[in-house]
């Protein structure tokens, strides 16, 4: 078994979801990765693993770094597809650095922070497919300059209490609650 896939199966097995919705997404993701050898391959038509970075402000963890996604025209956490041979955590760290320009981004722990499954709609010649998004909690310095890429219209440090003004989706708000209150599962 591919090392990165084996690593991901182990991480998914240890993750404790915050609620019933995340538990269902975790179950779907684990089943997908166990069933599909190419689950980490972005060219897999039915869907694939993506890695996201929930980057909080270093020290106080009161703000999160969001990007205004150029194609989707919405604010999201940083993240994207995995490179060949890359673990999900390595992908999240790389995406955070590439999409923000921050060089001093680090994982607050090696475990998964959140899991989400969402349908990506048809875009041009690309068919609709699922992103099985594995998210990691990172931190970065708020005083470092941010550099938006061609994938982003803008980057912003947003106070956690204000994230609903940027994206009120349950997926984002669940990560806000986890950041503020910790994992809500007993």
Dihedral sign computed on CA atoms, order 36, 38, 40, 42: negative
pTM of the model: 0.94
In whole angstroms, what is the distance from residue 162 CA to residue 152 CA? 20
- One of 3.90.1150.10, 3.90.1300.10, 3.40.50.2020, 3.90.79.10 is the CATH number of 3-181, namely 3.90.79.10
pLDDT one-digit tens code per residue, 27-42: 999 999 999 999 999 9
Tokens of 147: 């550099």
pLDDT at 109: 93
Task: Name 39's Cβ contacts closer than 8 Å, sequence gap at least 6.
Answer: 5, 8, 32, 33, 48, 49, 132
Mean pLDDT (the chain) is: 94
Reply yes or no on whether the pLDDT at 186 is more than 50.
no
Per the structure block, which two tokens stand in for 6?
């084996």
Kindly report, residue by residue over 69-109, the tens digit of the pLDDT.
988 889 999 999 999 999 999 999 999 999 999 999 999 99
Extents of the domains making up the chain = 3-181
């Amino acid at each position: 078994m591919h090392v990165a896939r084996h690593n991901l199966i182990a991480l998914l097995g240890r993750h404790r979801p915050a609620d019933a919705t995340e538990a269902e997404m975790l179950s779907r993701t684990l089943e997908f990765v166990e069933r599909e050898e190419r689950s980490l391959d972005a060219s897999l038509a039915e869907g694939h693993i993506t890695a996201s970075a929930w980057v909080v402000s270093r020290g106080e963890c009161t703000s999160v770094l969001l990007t205004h996604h150029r194609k989707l025209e919405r604010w999201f956490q940083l993240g994207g597809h995995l490179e060949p041979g890359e673990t999900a955590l390595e992908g999240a760290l790389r995406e955070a650095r590439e999409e923000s320009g921050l060089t001093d981004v680090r994982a607050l722990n090696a475990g998964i922070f959140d899991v989400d499954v969402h349908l990506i709609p048809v875009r041009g010649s690309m068919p609709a497919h699922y992103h099985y998004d594995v998210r990691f909690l990172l931190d970065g310095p708020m005083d470092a300059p941010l550099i938006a890429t061609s994938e982003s219209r803008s980057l912003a440090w947003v106070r956690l209490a204000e994230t609903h003004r940027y994206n009120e989706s349950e997926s984002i708000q669940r990560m806000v609650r986890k950041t503020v209150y910790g994992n809500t599962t007993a």
